[in-house]
Amino acid sequence: MNRDKIFEHLNEILVEEFEIDRDTIAPEKNLKETLDLDSLDYVDLVVIIESNFGVKLVEQDFAGMETFQDFYDVIEKKIEANK
C-alpha cells in the first residue's frame, strides 16, 4: 500500500468512526482537537488501526503526536517496519 493509499484509507476510517466531515481533516490540523479525542477514543483508534493495518500502536507512538501528519507518519512507519 503506497503512502497516498494509506492516508486515504486513514481518512476514510476517521470520517466513519469519529463522524466528522472529511473537510475538517488536514495534515497541519491538531488530531486530538479536531477529532475531540478522549482516552477511550484513543483506545478505539488503536484497535481500529490494528485491525485495518495489522500494526500495533503503543503509548509511546502517541508521544509528541499533535497533527494529522504526525499520525500519518507514525502509521506509515509502522506499516513499513511490518513488511
Q: pLDDT class for 2, splitting at 50, 70, 90?
A: confident
* Phi/psi of residue 54, nearest 5 degrees: 70, 25
What gap in Å lies between CA 36 and CA 2, rounded to an integer?
28
Listed residue (27, 24, 21, 19) closest to 3, CA to CA: 27
Q: Tell me the per-residue pLDDT of 23-68, one tens digit each, with 9 for 90 and over.
A: 999 999 999 999 999 989 999 999 999 999 999 999 899 999 999 9
Cell of 2: 503506497
Res 53: pLDDT: 94
Q: Is the dihedral of CA 25, 27, 31, 34 positive or negative?
A: negative
Res 9: pLDDT: 95
Domains contained in the chain, number: 1
Domain that residue 50 falls in: 3-81
Cell of 7: 492516508
- Rounded to a whole number, what is the distance in angstroms from the first to the last CA of the chain? 11
Assign residue 70 the CATH number of its domain: 1.10.1200.10
Question: What is the value of pTM for the model shown?
Answer: 0.89
